[in-house]
Amino acid sequence: MSVAPGADGVLVDRYGRVARDLRVSLTDKCNLRCTYCMPAEGLPWLAGPELLTDAEIVRLVRVAVERLGVTEVRFTGGEPLIRPGLVDIVTAVAALEPRPRVSLTTNGIGLDRLAPALRTAGLDRVNVSLDTLDAGRFTRLTRRPRLDAVLAGLAGAAAAGLEPVKINSVLMRGVNEDEAPALLRFALDHGYQLRIIEQMPLDAQHGWTRDTMVTAAEILASLRTGFDLSPDPVERGAAPAETWLVDGGPARVGVIASVTRPFCGDCDRTRLTADGQVRACLFATEESDLRAALRAGADDDELARRWRVAMWGKRAGHGIDDPTFLQPTRPMSAIGG
């Protein structure tokens, strides 16, 4: 059992885990309609006044970095590239002391145009979502014919020096489960790093079932049809991906098995939604409102205190295998990855 929240300033929970990785959702909106995330017509988006302003985002990130020990900041969405103030937000966060490592998770559309400005602003690297290399499948999966734009975004990120460029892929049974080897070959040929993620129960439609999820064991078996994989000797630490050396290395591939091989015991993440709510876990059913406190005039000490209290209540695990598990009301697009 750890000490009480606030005793040493960091974001510690009752199990002794310390959150140093902050995921910040900049918007719940997206310019794709991925079938495993949201319906074709989209979702009821957050109203403008509900969203944190650019200045409010920067202030809360500054509190996390300067007062709570956060060392990694990842901007997510929805789709963060559609946030008008993105470059200015990155510039302000990269200027904080001590400087956090700053990254971005995106679908890649428009990244070729924005990558140079983001690199100049201080962005260190990107993760780009790409589930298929087949244009027809891409259109069916995302309901938008934009595969070429995503591939251009990947190339633009690499050209701008936002490396390592990582690809996040979700495999779905009967949809693209056969593409793991092709995705890895594509990543190796272009110098990208592939991460394949088990589909998680975070869809707006609440249609996820474990029976239709492609498991980590199946992903690895598929990859081994084209490559030799050996365990990565590098310590995994708090990283969500279990990594494997490809054909003896140095190239690696990662599998994020949030469902079948949960890594909750080593989790070091805290999350801030686009409307200013702290989530201690991606699958949390509770949130703590920092926006209301901030707009009511709370000083930085009070905001930090509230954040520490929120993280103190973090559960031991996400509990997906528990019969009482309830999928979060918010879908992934509203939570931030």
Adjacency order of strands within the sheet including 193-197:
229-231, 242-246, 252-256, 193-197, 166-170, 125-129, 101-106, 72-76, 21-25, 269-272, 277-279, 288-289
Q: How far apart are CA 165 and CA 152, in angstroms?
A: 13
What does DSSP assign to residue 297? T
Please check the confidence at residue 318 and state whether its pLDDT lies above 90.
no
148-162: average pLDDT: 98
The reported pLDDT for the residue numbered 79 is 96
Nearest to 262 by CA among 198, 337, 218: 198
Question: What is the pLDDT confidence band of residue 203, given thresholds at 50, 70 and 90?
Answer: very low
Residue recorded with tokens 């794709």: 32
The reported pLDDT for the residue numbered 233 is 94
**What percent of the chain shows pLDDT beyond 90?**
72
Residue 116, C-beta contacts closer than 8 angstroms, at least 6 positions apart:
156, 160
Q: How far apart are CA 135 and CA 10, in angstroms?
A: 46
Q: Which range, of 84-93, 194-203, 211-220, averages the lowest pLDDT?
A: 194-203
Q: Which position has the higher pLDDT, 16 or 210?
A: 16
The reported pLDDT for the residue numbered 328 is 55
Question: What is the pLDDT confidence band of residue 6, given thresholds at 50, 70 and 90?
Answer: low
Beta strand 101-106 pairing with 269-272: unpaired
70-75: average pLDDT: 98
223-243: average pLDDT: 93
Report the range out of 52-61, 210-219, 229-238 with the highest average pLDDT.
Answer: 52-61
Three-class SS state of 171: coil
Signed CA dihedral, 26, 32, 35, 36: sign only: negative
Q: Which structure tokens are listed for 103?
A: 């990254």
pTM: 0.90
Q: Which structure tokens are listed for 259?
A: 């469902």
82-105: average pLDDT: 98
Please check the confidence at residue 266 and state whether its pLDDT lies above 80.
yes
Please check the confidence at residue 288 and state whether its pLDDT lies above 90.
yes
Q: Which structure tokens are listed for 4?
A: 């009480």
Question: What is the pLDDT confidence band of residue 57, given thresholds at 50, 70 and 90?
Answer: very high
Q: How far apart are CA 247 and CA 263, in angstroms?
A: 26
The reported pLDDT for the residue numbered 332 is 58
Q: How far apart are CA 262 and CA 318, in angstroms?
A: 8
Question: What is the pLDDT confidence band of residue 3, given thresholds at 50, 70 and 90?
Answer: very low
Residues facing residue 288 across a β-bridge? 278
Please check the confidence at residue 154 and state whether its pLDDT lies above 70.
yes
Please check the confidence at residue 1 and state whether its pLDDT lies above 50.
no
Contact 123, 94 (CB under 8 A): yes
Please state, rounded to an integer, the average pLDDT across all residues of the chain: 90
Please check the confidence at residue 323 and state whether its pLDDT lies above 50.
no
Per residue in 102-139, pLDDT tens?
A: 999 999 999 999 999 999 999 999 999 999 999 999 99
What does DSSP assign to residue 213? B
62-91: average pLDDT: 97
**Considering just the CA atoms, what is the radius of gyration of the chain in Å?**
19
The reported pLDDT for the residue numbered 201 is 57
Distances (CA, A) of 297 to 65, 293, 301, 318, 326: 20, 7, 11, 33, 34
3-11: average pLDDT: 68
The gap from C-alpha 102 to its chain's centroid, in whole angstroms, comes to 13
The reported pLDDT for the residue numbered 5 is 65
The reported pLDDT for the residue numbered 222 is 97
Please check the confidence at residue 183 and state whether its pLDDT lies above 90.
yes
Could you write out the DSSP letters of every residue in 26-64?
Answer: --S--S---TTTS-TT---PPPGGGSPPHHHHHHHHHHH
Question: What is the pLDDT confidence band of residue 336, given thresholds at 50, 70 and 90?
Answer: low
Q: How far apart are CA 222 and CA 314, in angstroms?
A: 35
